[in-house]
Structures are given as C-alpha cells and as structure tokens.
C-alpha cells in the first residue's frame, strides 16, 4: 500500500510539472491555460490528501504497537 501511495504522489507531481509548462502567465484564465491551472490545483490537492494518508498510516502503526 505504501509503495502504491508513493507511485500516486509521483504521478501527481508529474501532472503538476506537465501543466506548469502549459501555463501562459500573461493570460492565466484563458483557453488551455485555465485548464492547466485547474489541473495544477487538482494535482496539489491529490498530493496533500496522499500525504495526509501516509501520516495517518504511520500514526495507526505506532498506536498498534
């Protein structure tokens, strides 16, 4: 499970990096740039949620011991 979470985090980071290259900083909310901005936010939310999941798994394993 832990390896799967790390793979998902890596793919979310890849998604964020790819979409940063698609941004047009002069017109952030027009055309493909708006889709890229939304995708960056979604990727960052996924990274945050998976990070919380990893921390909760660590806490659960310490509580069981």
Using one digit for the tens of pLDDT, what is the confidence trace for 40-60?
999 999 999 999 999 999 999
Q: What is the pTM of this model?
A: 0.86
Q: Evaluate if residue 65 carries a pLDDT over 90.
A: no
Q: Evaluate if residue 25 carries a pLDDT over 90.
A: no
Contact 37, 16 (CB under 8 A): no
Q: For the chain, how many structural domains are there in total? A: 1
Contact 34, 23 (CB under 8 A): no
Domain enclosing residue 13, as ranges: 2-64
Report the mean per-residue pLDDT for the chain. 94
Inter-residue long-range contacts of 40-43, CB under 8 Å, 24+ positions, other chains counted: 40/16, 42/15, 43/12, 43/13, 43/15, 43/16, 43/19
């Amino acid at each position: 499970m832990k390896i799967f979470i790390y793979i998902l985090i890596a793919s979310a980071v890849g998604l964020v990096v790819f979409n940063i290259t698609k941004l047009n900083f002069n017109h952030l909310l027009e055309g493909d740039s708006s889709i890229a901005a939304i995708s960056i936010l979604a990727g960052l939310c996924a990274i945050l949620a998976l990070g919380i999941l990893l921390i909760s798994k660590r806490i659960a394993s310490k509580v069981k011991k």
